[in-house]
Amino acid sequence: MHSIEPFYNWRGFYIASEDLQSPFYEREYSEFEFTDSIYNFLIHPQWDSIESQTLFIKILFVDYEDGVAIIELFGEWNDVIENDIMLLKRNIVEPLMECGVFKFILIAENLLNFHGNETDYYEEWFEEIADEDGWIALINTRDHVLQEFKDFDLDYYFLMGGKLEEVNWRASTPLQFIDRISSFVQKRLQ
């Protein structure tokens, strides 16, 4: 687990710790001290805590002009024990929404498990962004995790599956990636 790093090739475009509006503004990172863990497995120190014991993230890019954020997920999304959706929404999503972000791209290829519970926070998030023509796209989700999301009917709130599971996003710039996902989303919404 300690060798799985957040994607770093877009640091020339955006760094959350240098963004005044980011929830991680002025956060200092260590390259050598491993302080966070998931189930006693140390994780790479570049991941950001949302105050969950099992789910960590990295804000890879934010375009405030177009209101889009790209967030990479890592670990286990556990609403049963940790109420991770509440932590993600309150600590990350809401501060971004206050800055005009209403479109969220969640990269889930390093999301190892999902344990659902209630849908209240998903519904709340969905309703708040819908008023602003926003959306939430879940990208490159592992098959079993995608099925777990669907089992809790979260495909009502998230755009997921199909072409959103086959995206080679690392080969593009953040804006190219956003354009590609936006075109998928627009086709789905029509």
Q: Is 28 left (phi over 0), alpha (psi -120 to 50) or beta?
A: beta
Does domain 49-189 correspond to CATH entry 3.30.750.24? yes
pTM over 0.85: yes
The pLDDT score that the predictor gives to residue 35 is: 81
Q: What secondary structure does DSSP assign to 135-189, as a single string? A: EEEEES--HHHHHHHHHTTGGGTSB-SGGGGS--GGGS-HHHHHHHHHHHHHHHH
The pLDDT score that the predictor gives to residue 66 is: 96
Full pLDDT tens readout for the chain, 190 residues: 567 899 999 999 999 999 999 999 999 987 778 888 888 888 889 999 999 999 999 999 999 999 999 999 999 999 999 899 999 999 999 999 999 999 999 999 999 999 999 999 999 999 999 989 999 999 999 999 999 999 999 999 999 999 999 899 999 999 999 999 999 998 877 6
Q: CB count, 10 Å around CB of 9?
A: 11
- HEC-encoded secondary structure of 9-77: CCCCCCCHHHCCCCCCCCCCCCCCCCCCEECCEECCCCCEECCCCCEEEEEEEEECCCCEEEEEEEEEE
The pLDDT score that the predictor gives to residue 7 is: 93
The pLDDT score that the predictor gives to residue 47 is: 94
Burial 53-77 (b: 16+ CB within 10 A, else e): bbbbbbbbbbbeeebbbbbbbbbbb
CB-based contact 54:82 (threshold 8 Å): yes
The pLDDT score that the predictor gives to residue 1 is: 59
